[in-house]
Chain A
């Protein structure tokens, strides 16, 4: 008995090592295009395979932690890049990425289908690829049961009837948290946002370090939490419908997208300097901005496509809302003040 188990373990061990090795070997005869990205990236397998077949290349995705960690790794490895393409730098990190000078300009022909307001780099080193609005989400049932009017603006959150109802992510450790802080800075101005946060603190706002804890730990619609208002994405309600165990007609949550309440987060793709496959990398960027790939984005990552020609899936058409007047702050301004804003926020809200 004992021997057979040891043998079995050894067998599994070598089988695992062998599968690992054989995968490595197979990829040596074909060209590999490495795409560095954050952990939330996703895409349909058949799209990737189609591109690989057409261009005789293997695409390898390197997931590198959250957006900040991934960008840092790309910058650290600039002497000897790990990847050919980076997918998923957002406008809050953009200036840092451009300052590090790790991207090649590329005027993709697909740019003509993209709205001007989304193009933030005139040299096209970073090309917009998807976007979404960070905003307040609320638990519809909670407000209906209690007959309380759901929040419509940022100012609502500091009213007495909304005391202790809100949960917000820490801008120092979370990307939606930072986006929401930027929304308040855009809305109340650099002079007014700290007063707003002071009031929010006095009104019992709860701060969590990450989106996971806010949404899965504290938000009443998604967990056993007791807070019916959370900072999430405008595309979270369609995700609630799409990922429900039974088909739903109506989303259990709703997004607050009134004028000046949301921050528009735009994600970019760029070709990393030093790539040995410039031609293929450009083709892949074109492919990512083209209609097929763009139409795949909403249900994979729950963000919006930038290509005007891309059709939205029904669940997005029915349940997703985008703000008409989102807050936009220039990446340069963000880069210049980011640390100071976060520092002042931390002192005001946490200490």
Chain B
């Protein structure tokens, strides 16, 4: 339809084309400057230290079985983590999409909190809960008179899988839940009326309709687990290594930059292939639908069955996400002498007069400042990229889509080192600039905006837009009054992710020299760097502050969208 209309009006065609190229330009320029340029520089330096290619390391990569095994482990643990996350989170997505209940917004914000916690802190929470002396094991040993702890998860694959589900639950909830809420219940109702069982209805109506968003969310989870670093290092122990861990080891501790670069290249190529398969799959499964207002799709859990469904899911979330978080909070208020707020009070003191002391209020302000900057940048870049991809079905677009996702799966060490050698001269003298922090966060965050907005954009039937154009609306007007109201929710989902990623300090910033930017995660790392109960307690207290600040940020973001008539 789109194409037919364009062919009839050459003038429109030309201006639309220019507009399309313009809109792809924003993310492309950003990627060129902050991704490809530093990456090419570090690769050049690694593979051609003297100006001539030295590919000895690449040979080693193939000749030793160790790297093949690492790649295999990286892939299967990511695939398994993704499947487990889907199994656990899809029922949750369903209740968020189909029901209205008190505290729903709060609960939804809460599911995203794990995303911001540093892996050291998550490990501490899991140890407190499931470690050999943890709450669960102590209780089991007491109740069943056991001498050894029955649950032994330390340094096992189960710990890794659990942490990945814990972190990524919210990705499925947000992205699949959002799409589910836009589906017209009348479709499945019709199927039921025609005699289909509820399982058959799900399998043949709901699931195919949800498939694009399930794919999008799974892809994000998969890429996140594929490049998993902290979780593997801390919870998995040294017997497990992903490619990302091996890159860190090679680059930082063995100083083998060529090998690190070679592994990064492998990681990037694999991600590109996964992405390309996904894009291909997605183009085959996309369909358009008239989006439905939430007023129609959501109801109160009124029947007994409804209440059981909602209740079970809330309990599942409480156990899976709530109990580790609760264990954290508990550790921040329990001292050897019992309950006390001494750790929180200590956050406000600087007895050593250290120049690196981070006052809590300042840490919150900096973290939120960076997060908002990253949010705005990610929205601009992500929306431009998604709009371009949604309108363009050419070969170029199918290559650009995977390209846009690459930063998400690129090793932070490699990219961080790339920044050191690439961004060192004016006008890009950003190595030690405070702006490098939100820029690096944006690189990881905007793919989330693309993935959450794109399925929504693609689902808008072309004739909705055409009707608006026929009635004389300009493309900007159409965007504002037709497209935006439909995708608004997905945009906010993307914004929440951008905010979260930045506040949790994902990305290359960990390996980049930077002046004092006292954010909350850095404060936590600072405390955990030295022995002493007070340091540990303060780290837990600061983690709790981080959780609260994040939750507050989410609630504010959610506020923006609530209370709107006929929203989707």
Q: List residues of chain A with CB under 8 Å of any chain B CB.
A: 1-2, 5-6, 8-9, 12-13, 15-17, 19-20, 23-24, 34, 36, 39-46, 48, 60-66, 68-70, 72-73, 76-77, 79-80, 82-83, 96, 170, 172-173, 178, 206-210, 212-213, 215-218, 220, 222-226, 232, 236, 239-246, 253, 299-300, 302, 338-339, 342, 350
In the complex, which residues of chain A have a beta carbon less than 8 angstroms from the beta carbon of B356? Answer: 41-43, 61
Complex Cα distance A15/B366, Å?
11
Complex Cα distance A178/B249, Å?
13
* 12 sample A-B contacts, Cβ–Cβ < 8 Å, listed by A number: A5-B556, A12-B372, A15-B369, A16-B365, A16-B372, A43-B354, A62-B432, A72-B417, A77-B424, A82-B513, A217-B124, A244-B532
Complex Cα distance A24/B356, Å?
18
B532 near A243 (CB under 8 angstroms)?
yes
Q: Could you tell me the distance in whole angstroms from the C-beta of B500 to the nearest C-beta in chain A?
A: 15
Complex Cα distance A302/B354, Å?
13
Complex Cα distance A63/B132, Å?
36
B534 near A244 (CB under 8 angstroms)?
yes
Q: Could you tell me the distance in whole angstroms from the C-beta of B485 to the nearest C-beta in chain A?
A: 15
Q: Check B8 for interface membership: any CB of A closer than 8 A.
A: no
Q: Could you tell me the distance in whole angstroms from the C-beta of B217 to the nearest C-beta in chain A?
A: 27
Known contacts A5-B556, A77-B424; is A225 also within 8 Å of B132 by CB? yes
In the complex, which residues of chain A have a beta carbon less than 8 angstroms from the beta carbon of B515? Answer: 60-62
A342 near B254 (CB under 8 angstroms)?
yes
Complex Cα distance A96/B336, Å?
45
Q: Check B113 for interface membership: any CB of A closer than 8 A.
A: no
* B335-357 CB contacts (< 8 Å) to partner A: 335-337, 340, 342-343, 346, 352-357
Q: Check B4 for interface membership: any CB of A closer than 8 A.
A: no
Q: Could you tell me the distance in whole angstroms from the C-beta of A19 to the nearest C-beta in chain B?
A: 8
0/1 per residue, B485-527, Cβ < 8 Å to A? 0000000000000000000000000111111100000000110
Q: Pick the contact of A42 from B127, B238, B354, B413 — CB < 8 Å?
A: B354
Known contacts A9-B556, A45-B354, A223-B127; is A70 also within 8 Å of B133 by CB? no
- A36, A70, A209, A241: residue with the most chain B Cβ atoms closer than 10 Å: A209
A44 near B355 (CB under 8 angstroms)?
yes
B252 near A72 (CB under 8 angstroms)?
yes
B530 near A239 (CB under 8 angstroms)?
yes
Known contacts A12-B369, A20-B369, A224-B133; is A173 also within 8 Å of B556 by CB? no
Known contacts A13-B373, A215-B531, A223-B127; is A208 also within 8 Å of B353 by CB? no
B528 near A173 (CB under 8 angstroms)?
no
- A62, A70, A79, A224: residue with the most chain B Cβ atoms closer than 10 Å: A224
B434 near A20 (CB under 8 angstroms)?
yes
Known contacts A2-B560, A46-B353, A173-B233; is A66 also within 8 Å of B532 by CB? no
B355 near A61 (CB under 8 angstroms)?
yes
A9 near B251 (CB under 8 angstroms)?
no
A170 near B238 (CB under 8 angstroms)?
yes
B513 near A216 (CB under 8 angstroms)?
no
Q: Check B248 for interface membership: any CB of A closer than 8 A.
A: yes
Q: Check B381 for interface membership: any CB of A closer than 8 A.
A: no
* Size band of the interface chain B makes with A: 35 or more
A216 near B368 (CB under 8 angstroms)?
no
In the complex, which residues of chain B have a beta carbon less than 8 angstroms from the beta carbon of A223? Answer: 124, 127, 536
Q: Check B324 for interface membership: any CB of A closer than 8 A.
A: no
Q: Check B93 for interface membership: any CB of A closer than 8 A.
A: no
Known contacts A62-B513, A217-B124; is A173 also within 8 Å of B253 by CB? yes
Q: Could you tell me the distance in whole angstroms from the C-beta of A175 to the nearest C-beta in chain B?
A: 9
In the complex, which residues of chain A have a beta carbon less than 8 angstroms from the beta carbon of B529? Answer: 39-40, 212
Complex Cα distance A62/B434, Å?
11
Known contacts A16-B368, A216-B124; is A34 also within 8 Å of B533 by CB? no
In the complex, which residues of chain A have a beta carbon less than 8 angstroms from the beta carbon of B424? Answer: 77, 79-80, 82
Complex Cα distance A77/B340, Å?
47
In the complex, which residues of chain A have a beta carbon less than 8 angstroms from the beta carbon of B400? Answer: none
B512 near A239 (CB under 8 angstroms)?
no
A96 near B120 (CB under 8 angstroms)?
no
Complex Cα distance A69/B134, Å?
34
Q: Could you tell me the distance in whole angstroms from the C-beta of B535 to the nearest C-beta in chain A?
A: 5
B531 near A222 (CB under 8 angstroms)?
yes
Known contacts A2-B560, A65-B510, A68-B253; is A77 also within 8 Å of B237 by CB? no
Residue of B nearest to A21 (CB): B434
In the complex, which residues of chain A have a beta carbon less than 8 angstroms from the beta carbon of B18? Answer: none
A172 near B253 (CB under 8 angstroms)?
yes
B336 near A69 (CB under 8 angstroms)?
no
A96 near B528 (CB under 8 angstroms)?
no
Q: Check B239 for interface membership: any CB of A closer than 8 A.
A: yes
